[in-house]
Amino acid sequence: MARMIFITGGVVSSLGKGLASAALGALLQARGYSVRLRKLDPYLNVDPGTMSPFQHGEVYVTDDGAETDLDLGHYERFTGVASARSDNVTSGRIYSEVIAKERRGDYLGRTVQVIPHVTDAIKDFVLAGSNDVDFLLCEIGGTVGDIEGLPFFEAIRQLGNELGHERACFVHLTLLPYIETAGELKTKPTQHSVKELRSIGIQPDVLLCRSTHPIPLDERRKIALFCNVSAERVIPARDLATIYDAPIAYHREGLDTQILSVFGLKDAPAPDLSRWQNVVDRVNNPEGEVRIAVVGKYISVKDSYKSLSEALTHGGLANNVRVRMEWIDSEIFERDDAAVYLEGVNGILVPGGFGERGTEGKIAAVKFARERKVPFFGICYGLHMAVIEAARTQLGLEGAGSTENGTPKHPVIAMMTEWTKGNDLEVRSKGGDMGGTMRLGAYPAVLSSGSRVAEIYGVSKISERHRHRYEVNTEYTDALAGQGLKVTGWSPDGKLPEIMERSDHPWFIGVQFHPELKSRPLEPHPLFASFIRAAVEQSRLV
């Protein structure tokens, strides 16, 4: 069975617990161990799929079609291990499973309680399939002391007890605030947070302390004394210029060495961090810069486009350039001329989105990119906007639109009700559950030979992740091809357009899926690498 590492958070939220867990996973991999990461989310939604990006940030989609927490994206980017439905659970899902069992009579007349029934369900979730890896890292969402998190903390406390010290380690992430006027780092919030953790029966083994300033040895000793850990297990986690430096920085501070010593692994092989050093060197020493305008709707919350901004950065890494992202609220283009904002950018990206607000502005951005021959990348809703723009402007279909936003005269984007997945027929209905009617997860696509995308991917069959309800309506694709906008990637049954590209433009590609979900710093996604290359070329022209 895997050794378990439980990662909890204290003091405040937003300390980057997901990133810290992911970087620790990468660090253990660099020592030759296999890892898997899981996230336990205490909120009551069954999954984040129905939550607004303004509330929750991006919804990360796995190959097996689960809508999950964005931390799973960090896990995948750092470790390269594809996550699955079994790697993220919420209180909502745990409770709905327990209640369904109760209704079926599975509890044989017993009183159903948080302890042991809910905690058992959590433990089953944590341990499922844990035999396959050396380390299972399990992050608990929220902060110690949150009422809704209590069953999760109780479950991991029990697991710590059952597995013993050779098999379980508790890492607690805290904050040492710096008080400007006193010129001091404060340890009290950390002391209180650990006290809270110990009051529910969990003694942390290692403290990872976020701070903006160096932590003097005396302060580390003080924290050690009050929190009942040794001083070398109080690990500083300073703010970093790039998140991809975290595995290296953590190793420098001894995080992996201390965790391995908790498990009694004293002679573990030294980590090989050269690949991460290479990423950090590229981030720190770019040979140039490109400006990419991202024209979207949820731009006030950066976490809404987390995977997207990372994938653009990776595209920059592949070309040794820094990508300067300019986040533009598409509604601006409904008032002002797009040219005012887009003049001088080297590429335009219209990302995924939902609902009518801001769509006319996105269409204006597509028009600018098409006419001015600026590299254009449309992702999911961005592809839909490109199709609507071409239908209206080039085919002269006034009132062309998507059935997502009413009943347009020319439904160039529409809901398909049936398609095949493997050998199965999948069916969806307009009135179905909001959480259940999307085409979700990995689907294959076949690329047309001789197309630009076939050249970019270097293969003829790909698999990419989806999250949408509407599709390009094939009744219009021949007419669009006549205007240069051609389908160059199809679902294997030939029913659903997956990719469209323009033959009359330096780089204009729209995709029905979300390639950003599969891009990694050590392996930038080919479409992002190619888009940024086109932007570099464009920057040389202007």
Helix and strand totals (H; E) in the chain: 18, 25
Any residues with CB less than 8 A from the CB of 477 and at least 6 apart, and which? 487, 497
Binding-site member from 10, 25, 353, 526 for ligand GLN (CB under 6 A): 353
Residue with tokens 């433990």: 123
Taking the complex as a whole, how short is the minimal distance between the CB of residue 354 and ligand GLN, in angstroms? 4
Query: Does residue 349 belong to the site contacting ligand GLN (CB under 6 A)?
Result: no
From the candidates 380, 384, 404, 466, which is the catalytic residue? 380
Choice between 171 and 412, CB closer to ligand GLN:
412
What are residue 424's DSSP bridge partners?
421
Taking the complex as a whole, how short is the minimal distance between the CB of residue 467 and ligand GLN, in angstroms? 5
Query: Does residue 170 belong to the site contacting ligand GLN (CB under 6 A)?
Result: no
Choice between 194 and 390, CB closer to ligand GLN:
390
Q: Is 380 designated active site?
A: yes
Taking the complex as a whole, how short is the minimal distance between the CB of residue 404 and ligand GLN, in angstroms? 5
Query: Does residue 352 belong to the site contacting ligand GLN (CB under 6 A)?
Result: yes
Site map 441..480 versus ligand GLN, x via CB under 6 A: --------------------------xxxx----------
| The two three-digit tokens of residue 312, written as one number | 């653009």
Site map 193..232 versus ligand GLN, x via CB under 6 A: ----------------------------------------
Q: Is 138 designated active site?
A: no
3-state secondary structure of 501: strand
Choice between 245 and 404, CB closer to ligand GLN:
404
Choice between 26 and 415, CB closer to ligand GLN:
415
Choice between 300 and 460, CB closer to ligand GLN:
300
d(CA 416, CA 401): 15
Any residues with CB less than 8 A from the CB of 40 and at least 6 apart, and which? 89, 122, 125, 126, 138, 139, 140, 141, 152
d(CA 174, CA 209): 5
3-state secondary structure of 480: helix
Binding-site member from 58, 87, 404, 501 for ligand GLN (CB under 6 A): 404
Other beta carbons within 10 angstroms of residue 322's beta carbon come to: 18
Contact assessment for residue 58 and residue 79, using Cβ atoms and an 8 Å cutoff:
no
| The two three-digit tokens of residue 286, written as one number | 């770019």
Choice between 56 and 469, CB closer to ligand GLN:
469
d(CA 68, CA 190): 29
Q: Which of 372, 323, 321 is nearest to 343 (CA)?
A: 372
Taking the complex as a whole, how short is the minimal distance between the CB of residue 492 and ligand GLN, in angstroms? 20
From the candidates 117, 384, 466, 514, which is the catalytic residue? 514
d(CA 480, CA 483): 5
Total binding residues for ligand GLN by CB under 6 A?
Answer: 10
d(CA 1, CA 132): 7
Choice between 352 and 510, CB closer to ligand GLN:
352
Site residues (CB under 6 A) for ligand GLN, limited to 362-401: 380-381
Question: Beta 485-490 vs 497-502: how paired, if at all?
Answer: antiparallel
- 251 backbone φψ class: left, alpha, beta (φ>0; ψ -120 to 50): alpha
Taking the complex as a whole, how short is the minimal distance between the CB of residue 119 and ligand GLN, in angstroms? 36
Taking the complex as a whole, how short is the minimal distance between the CB of residue 469 and ligand GLN, in angstroms? 4
Residues in the chain: 542
d(CA 1, CA 527): 39
Choice between 51 and 81, CB closer to ligand GLN:
51
Q: Is 516 designated active site?
A: yes
Query: Does residue 306 belong to the site contacting ligand GLN (CB under 6 A)?
Result: no
From the candidates 172, 471, 516, 525, which is the catalytic residue? 516
| The two three-digit tokens of residue 76, written as one number | 């995948």
d(CA 223, CA 220): 5
What are residue 411's DSSP bridge partners?
401
Other beta carbons within 10 angstroms of residue 152's beta carbon come to: 26
Q: What's the distance, CA 405 to chain centroid?
A: 27
Q: Which residue's CB atom is positioned nearest to ligand GLN? A: 352
d(CA 475, CA 480): 10
Taking the complex as a whole, how short is the minimal distance between the CB of residue 96 and ligand GLN, in angstroms? 25
d(CA 364, CA 344): 16
Taking the complex as a whole, how short is the minimal distance between the CB of residue 82 and ligand GLN, in angstroms? 19
Stretch of 102-110, 250-258, 349-357, 496-504 contacting ligand GLN, by CB under 6 A: 349-357
3-state secondary structure of 440: strand
What is the dihedral sign for C-alpha 418, 419, 420, 426? negative
Taking the complex as a whole, how short is the minimal distance between the CB of residue 46 and ligand GLN, in angstroms? 19
Q: Which residues bind ligand GLN (CB under 6 A)?
A: 352-354, 380-381, 404, 467-470
What residues are annotated to the active site?
Answer: 380, 514, 516
